[in-house]
């Protein structure tokens, strides 16, 4: 069965992403076409990139924290990235986690759920460029959540029905593309050392 990781891309104290990631997981849990799991970057404390070998060299990871992160990411067929928008871009912790690896991301689908002043749309623009460089297939549907309308008092997550519909469409596409890319993943296995 296809396995999709829901990456919680913020570690900031008081982050709103935890509520959003749980909402995504709750919606995904009712599906029978894939398994879904939340990947919280708090559970993978990676220092600023400290590997001497380029990430394009799979299996040459020097540090245990990198090997653990590589094993986690390699085990998934696709992803939904949950991200806030910081200064028209993504959180540094998410970019750092992405940059640690290369082959482990290849030939996998990715969708985006973002939040911020303008729904996090500018963060997703950056993520699409990054994921394209990693040979990931980013799906067109996305979910953009406004801090003004989807969070009561800018704190408690209360998405509208339109967001749930958009999420279902996004999940449909991530599962479909993850399934379609399976033959490519099978011909270029990742070796973790």
pLDDT for 59-113, tens place per residue?
A: 678 899 999 999 999 999 999 999 999 999 999 999 999 999 999 999 999 999 9
Q: What local confidence, expressed as pLDDT, does residue 34 receive?
A: 98
Share of the chain above pLDDT 90, in %: 89
| CA dist., res. 176 & res. 136, Å (int) | 14
What is the mean pLDDT of the segment spanning 158-171? 96
How far the first Cα of the chain sits from its last, in Å, is 25
The residue ranges of every structural domain in the chain are: 3-187
Smallest CA-to-CA distance from 32 within 130, 183, 143, 171 is with 171
Mean pLDDT of the chain: 94
**In which band, very low, low, confident or very high, does the pLDDT at 54 lie, cut at 50, 70 and 90?**
confident
| CA dist., res. 44 & res. 47, Å (int) | 10
Q: What local confidence, expressed as pLDDT, does residue 192 receive?
A: 44
Smallest CA-to-CA distance from 157 within 9, 40, 23, 11 is with 23
Question: What's the CATH superfamily of 3-187?
Answer: Flavodoxin domain (3.40.50.360)
Quote the Cα angle for 163-41-114, to 5°: 20
Q: Which two tokens stand for residue 141?
A: 């549907």
Give the DSSP letter string of 130-175. HHHHTT-EEEEEEEEEETTTSEETTTEE---HHHHHHHHHHHHHHH
List Cα–Cα distances, 126 to 32, 90, 114, 133, in angstroms: 31, 7, 12, 11
Q: Is 36 left (phi over 0), alpha (psi -120 to 50) or beta?
A: beta
Tell whether the model's pLDDT for residue 36 goes beyond 90. Answer: yes
Token match 């653990």: residue?
A: 68
pLDDT for 67-77, tens place per residue?
A: 999 999 999 99
What is the mean pLDDT of the segment spanning 116-125? 95
List Cα–Cα distances, 129 to 5, 45, 50, 53, 135, in angstroms: 20, 24, 23, 23, 10
What is the mean pLDDT of the segment spanning 119-142? 97
């Amino acid at each position: 069965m296809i396995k999709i990781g829901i990456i919680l891309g913020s570690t900031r104290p008081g982050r709103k992403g935890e509520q959003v990631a749980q909402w995504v997981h709750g919606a995904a849990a009712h599906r029978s076409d894939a398994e879904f799991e939340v990947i919280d970057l708090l559970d993978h404390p990676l220092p600023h990139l400290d590997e001497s070998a380029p990430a394009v060299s799979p299996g040459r990871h020097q540090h245990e924290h990198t090997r653990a992160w590589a094993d986690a990411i390699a085990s998934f067929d696709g992803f939904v990235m949950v991200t806030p928008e910081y200064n028209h871009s993504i959180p540094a912790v998410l970019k750092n986690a992405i940059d640690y690896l290369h082959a482990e991301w290849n030939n996998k689908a990715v969708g985006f759920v973002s939040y911020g002043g303008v729904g996090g749309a500018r963060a997703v623009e950056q993520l699409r460029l990054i994921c394209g460089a990693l040979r990931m297939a980013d799906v067109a549907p996305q979910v953009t959540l406004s801090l003004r309308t989807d969070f009561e008092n800018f704190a408690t997550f209360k998405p509208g029905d339109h967001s749930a519909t958009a999420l279902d469409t996004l999940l449909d596409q991530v599962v479909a593309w993850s399934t379609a890319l399976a033959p490519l993943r099978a011909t270029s296995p990742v070796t973790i050392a």
